[in-house]
Amino acid sequence: MRALLSWAAFAAAVYAFSGLWAAFRGAFQGRPATPPGAFLGLVVLFLLSLGYLAFIIYAADRGAGRVRRRIAFFDRILDRGQHG
């Protein structure tokens, strides 16, 4: 299930980045085609999907003992899942 979610998050990040790139290109060419609400939604989708991907990669590395620098926010989430 985790692999399917990670592929879905990756696809969402690619989709959001594509939409953001098109919005930036349109804005720089003087013809913005993306409404502000849709642009904000793409930004949120992009950040959430990349955040999820970063989290699962960090969790896998932490489980394998390959973490050099700890990320306190991710550690709190992972530790909460083990205790509760």
pTM: 0.86
Q: What would the pLDDT profile of 14-46 be if each residue is shown by its tens digit?
A: 999 999 999 999 999 999 889 999 999 999 999
pLDDT interval class at 84 (50, 70, 90) = low
pLDDT of residue 38: 96
pLDDT of residue 54: 97
| Cα distance between residue 54 and residue 8, in whole Å | 14
The per-residue pLDDT of the chain, averaged, comes to 94
